[in-house]
Amino acid sequence: MPDGLSPGLLFAQFHRLDTALWIFDFDALRVIWANRAALEVWDADSLEELSARDLGADMSPAVSKRLNQYRTDFHRKDITFPEIWTLYPNGSPRTLQVLMRGIRLDDGRMALYCEGTVDHDLQPEALRSAEALLHTPVMISMFDRSGHPLYRNPASRATCIGPETNFFAHFVDPSDASRLVAKVEQDMDTRIVARVTTAQGVRWHEITARACSDAATGGPAYLVSEVDVTELQETRRRAEFLATHDPLTGLPNRAYINDRLPELLEEARQIGGKVYLYLIDLDGFKSVNDTMGHAAGDELLQVVSNTIRDSVDGADFVARLGGDEFLLCVLDTETTQNPQALGDGLLAQFEAPKTIEGRPHCIRFSVGFSVFPDDGMTMDALIRRADLALYATKSGAKYACTAYHLSFER
């Protein structure tokens, strides 16, 4: 400090300023210092009276979140935030242009240093729009054409990883950003749903963007609003999954087969390949339900489905048809696989007993298979032929669980 200028004299000069200066304690949620202009703004007779006010008592969640963002940002770097704030000392609104910085207290904690200027020229509509931007849960941002952020409202700032996060870095898939920008350049505005990286992890956002001009510089910019639709998206995806998959085993169901199998047959037809369909039916499943209970039966189905799915190399899909019936489909593009050998390999996975409700259990099943195009050209014909083969297998001799022999009937 220059010679002849004491701290007391310096602080006395602060009290002569027309700009309102005050320091806000993030932890105590109180003003711990203010000059005379700030006392007038806060409608306080003294610093002692102002410091005694618990500003957190009626603080809105949006303001609380915003203050926490400030503290986090101030710890990361020396940064300044200019904003329009409306204070409500003793219930009366006071709107100011506020410049906010971080300041270290003597005990090392971060506090908020504010410089506020009362703006008497702000119109009611401008005041209300500033309040709406502060409190709305919609994330609103403005970026220049290079993606550098020009403005973020509190909701947007709470979501982004850092205040300088680039618009294009916000997207998990860069092609989503490119697609959005291209659409904006063509139509001036657009809307997409995309995965984005946020402070809360990867989320789904509905993003609306439009071309505009930066009111401060006149330069071209993008105005972006975002709404988190993760729950809706996950619900929709879950509904789509359940429509085509069995909820117990997670395997595809009949609806999936009806969509996917004709595609595989057409692919095989075009390249001259083969498709092998295996119908698998558990033996004695009803007795498991009757003697051990339905929970054991469900566990048995899950063990079987996981074993088939994990052990059959090259399978295009394993599906549950319902009850204790499964369908295994293999596309052989080189026509070099031996369908009997593939079935034997599947059988080998069940040579040892599986654990069901903590006890070893021998799993027996019957299999029938058909081959495209040898046994039919359509899905219905192939499944019917495989079903006939399965029936022939089940009509044959049953084998002890220690033998684990599997026969294929054509």
Q: Where are the domains of the chain?
A: 7-129, 137-234, 245-395
Find, among 47, 131, 26, 123, the residue nearest to 87 by Cα. 131
Residue 6: what pLDDT?
57
Distance in angstroms (rounded) separating the CA atoms of residues 2 and 220 = 46
Residue 131: what pLDDT?
67
Are 155 and 136 spatial neighbours (Cβ–Cβ below 8 Å)? Answer: yes
Query: How many CB atoms lie under 10 A from the CB of residue 148?
Result: 12
> Do 7-129 and 137-234 come out as alike in CATH topology?
yes
Query: What's the first-to-final CA gap in the chain, in angstroms?
Result: 99
Residue 78: what pLDDT?
83
234 membership: H or E segment, kind and range = helix 230-244
Q: Is the peptide bond before 373 cis (omega within 30 degrees of 0)?
A: yes
**CATH number of the 137-234 domain:** 3.30.450.20
93 phi and psi angles, rounded to 5 deg: -75, 135
Residue 310: what pLDDT?
81
Extract long-range pairs of 88-95: CB within 8 Å, 24+ residues apart. Answer: 88/58, 89/41, 89/42, 89/43, 89/44, 90/43, 92/43, 93/127, 94/41, 94/42, 94/43, 94/118, 95/119, 95/122, 95/127, 95/130
Distance in angstroms (rounded) separating the CA atoms of residues 49 and 265 = 82
Q: Where are the beta strands (DSSP E) in 90-237?
A: 94-104, 110-118, 139-144, 149-152, 189-198, 201-213, 220-228
Radius of gyration of the chain (CA): 35
Type of residue at 377? M
Q: pLDDT truncated to tens, each residue of the chain (410 aa)?
A: 455 555 556 667 787 888 999 999 999 999 999 999 999 999 999 999 999 999 988 887 778 878 888 888 888 788 888 887 888 888 888 888 888 899 999 899 999 999 988 765 656 666 666 667 776 889 999 999 999 998 888 888 888 887 788 999 999 999 999 999 999 988 888 999 999 999 889 999 999 999 988 877 888 899 999 999 999 988 888 888 999 999 999 999 999 999 999 999 999 999 999 999 999 888 878 777 777 888 888 888 998 888 888 877 666 889 999 888 999 998 888 877 788 887 777 777 887 888 888 888 888 888 888 999 999 999 999 999 988 888 887 776 333 222 222 333 33
> Length of the chain in residues, anyone?
410
Query: How many CB atoms lie under 10 A from the CB of residue 308?
Result: 23
**CATH number of the 7-129 domain:** 3.30.450.20
CATH 3.30.70.270 fits 245-395, yes or no: yes
Bridge partners, residue 95, by sequence: 86
Please state whether 403 falls in left (phi above 0), alpha (psi between -120 and 50) or beta.
Answer: alpha
Separation in Å, CA 98 to CA 12, 95, 368? 22, 9, 78
Residue 213: what pLDDT?
85
Cα 382 to the center of its chain, rounded Å: 41
Residue 398: what pLDDT?
36
DSSP 8-class letter at 252: B
